[in-house]
Amino acid sequence: MNLPTNITLLLHPKLNRISKDKGLRDGLSAVAQIADTLWVTNDEGTSLERLTPIKSHKPGIMTFGCHERFPLANFLHLPEKVKSSKNQPEVDVEGLAYADGYLWLIGSHSLIRSKPELGEGDKKARQQLQQVSRTGNRYLLARIPVEEANGTPTLAKKATWDGEKLVAAQLPGDDRGSDLTKALCHDEHLGPFLDIPGKDNGFDIEGLAVVGKRVFLGLRGPVLRGWAVIVELELKANGKRPGFLKLKSIGPKGRRYRKHFLHLEGLGIRDLCAQGPDLLILAGPTMSLDGPVKVFRWKGGADPKGERMVAKKDLECLLEIPHGNDVGHAEGMTLFSSNGGPPDSLMVVYDSIPKKRQSNDCTLTADLIPLTGNLKSRT
């Protein structure tokens, strides 16, 4: 069987614009497949987008369209309210994962340093460069139930999955942080980086994988002496606060998290996905620059025994993703099934979409990499 090597995404013209200066299709930050639907998001928005398969007018081209938007404020308590379509405090969703009837999502939890505008003079540029801000909606870790409506997966505040009642819920947070940042603030490795902007090698969550009760967060930064970090959590419903979650004590000395350090050749983590007992890791530069982007396999990473130091020799580099201004920046990935069966491809979506990936105002392409050779699951 010859599998397609790319996939076309058709966005609705009225839903494409998410801010004054950016369209949805200018860059995707995360992707997940649920049944035959694709769920994507732009990191400057406050919604999730669903695309369903449609027939393509070009033979051999896989196309998704019928674009529908799901505002996160309809399901969750956003720390900063959406004031208008022209002034939306972004959630900066950087990871999506589907597991056991829930679509999980994670905000970056990162601070923002202003970009200097050199055209306004050196003095103004220096002032801009010293400005650091935070957006409360970025402190979001949540899960939303998925149910079927007319045979198509959709989001719901409450749903039933495999006989179990599911409810939309999130980790408590506000405009200063969340229960996760409170747990990490005194950490000897990560605590000092919580007040450093993400693009300065500060704390920045970009990867998400969920396996059973385990939630894995991949950090773009910090990278410590070449070692990237995965934070492992377990969450449970907060019986005293419906609609909210609690961190369980799973680490040494009752810590509510575990840390795993991985030598990814100096790269940070851009996304995660589980493949059987393993974790696939999309790795790229921590800073704002073009550089190598690779996919690694951490064997047994979906079920680590205690906290781990994973040396370079224990990580398998599966492939290198093209990078550069003429390609875009690989931001998200998911295992993808083209025929309703087991996954047969790895789908990769990009930020900073170049013109070569855009055929008109609301169309873009993502890559499909067939699962062959060392990309195949070990199960």
Q: How far is CA 329 from CA 11, 47, 270, 317, in A?
A: 20, 21, 10, 19
Q: How far is CA 271 from CA 72, 163, 229, 274, 378, in A?
A: 21, 31, 12, 11, 20
Residue with tokens 């369980």: 248
* Model pLDDT, residue 87: 56
* Model pLDDT, residue 82: 53
- The answer regarding whether domain 6-375 maps to CATH 3.30.70 reads no
* Model pLDDT, residue 1: 44
**Torsion angle (degrees, nearest 10) of CA 361, 272, 289, 15:** 20
Tokens of 152: 């198509």
Rounded to an integer, what distance in angstroms lies between the CA atom of residue 93 and that of residue 29?
7
Helix H or strand E encompassing 366: strand 363-370
* Model pLDDT, residue 192: 97
Ranges of each domain in the chain: 6-375
Tokens of 164: 């179990």
* Model pLDDT, residue 6: 85
Going by C-alpha positions, the residue among 94, 117, 116, 118 that lies closest to residue 30 is 94
> Which portions of the chain are predicted below pLDDT 50?
1, 84-85
Largest Cα separation within the chain, whole Å, is: 63
